[in-house]
Amino acid sequence: MKFEPNFEHQLKSFIENALLEDAPQGDRTSLACIPTDARCKAKLLVKDAGILAGVDVAERIFQKVDPSASFTKLIEDGTHVSFGDVAFTLECNTQALLKAERVALNIMQRMSGIATLAHEFQFEVEDLPVKILDTRKTTPLLRFLEKYAVRIGGCHNYRENLSDWFMVKDNHIKACSGVRKAIEKVLEYQKVEGLNLGITVEVKNLVELYEVLEIGNINRIMFDNFELPLLEEAVAIVGKRFETEASGGINIHSVRRVAQTGVDYISVGALTHSATSLDLSLKIQ
């Protein structure tokens, strides 16, 4: 599978660094007891139910350690899998396979766990006109893969980093001595820098909401930790003048009720910070 250039660059760096972390001087055990020219066949065995993610990443990992490896994908990313399913088979140099095994398993298990949780959230609201968004609550340096897993699971990515979207939150507002001044500073900066980025402003109550509505010139209003009745009222007040977003402690049990208030977006940090890894195993045949 071909990825977009920036993703390819990040993936290449990730694989190199992950292999270096796990085997800085090689896999000593394999070097000691397995002939250098030995080859083997293996399969990726699913040991849990969920959404599979990271197959194409695993293929890149094994091709890195053995360019002559033969990788046969049997199940595509985004597919629901069950105990006993075989995601792929592999024919590879044995030393290389064992060197890459844990790196491939770790990232696939992590990505599959995220994709599974994202799928569960999306299932809860699939009949409603709302998008579930991830956040920046990701593992440092693994964000690109964790956000990829969110997409595989059926949810959507918010900003990739602090540089691609303005988000005026409580600390910005406090540091600027008020939401009006914060928004004015953002608009001035955007004009000076010649940018055309989205602007989200976080509000904590209706007083802040009315102030933001008076200022305008933004794209989205984020309601942080609003109780459901207040959230519904806030969405009605905004109407369709700006996009609306709910955030703060939203879980799988509350997401549908939040969506029914009419918000356009729901941001859920749990997609990446609370996902449980899917159990997978690589078995030599």
Report, as residue numbers or ranges, the catalytic residues. 102, 137, 169, 202, 224
- Pairwise CA distance, residues 151 & 157, whole Å: 7
Q: What angle do CA 255, 220, 261 make, to 5 degrees?
A: 30
Q: How far is CA 251 from CA 73, 122, 198, 247, 262, in A?
A: 33, 12, 26, 10, 17
CA diameter of the chain: 73
Which SS3 state, helix, strand or coil, does residue 246 take?
A: strand
Tell me phi and psi for residue 237, to 5 degrees. -65, -45
End-to-end CA distance of the chain: 26
Cα–Cα distance, 82 to 65 (Å, whole number): 29
The residues, any chain, with a CB within 8 Å of residue 30's CB and separated by 6 or more, are 94, 95, 98, 99
Specify which residues 50 forms β-bridges with: 81
Cα of 11 vs its chain's centroid, Å: 15
| Closest C-alpha among 185, 180, 239 to residue 207 | 180
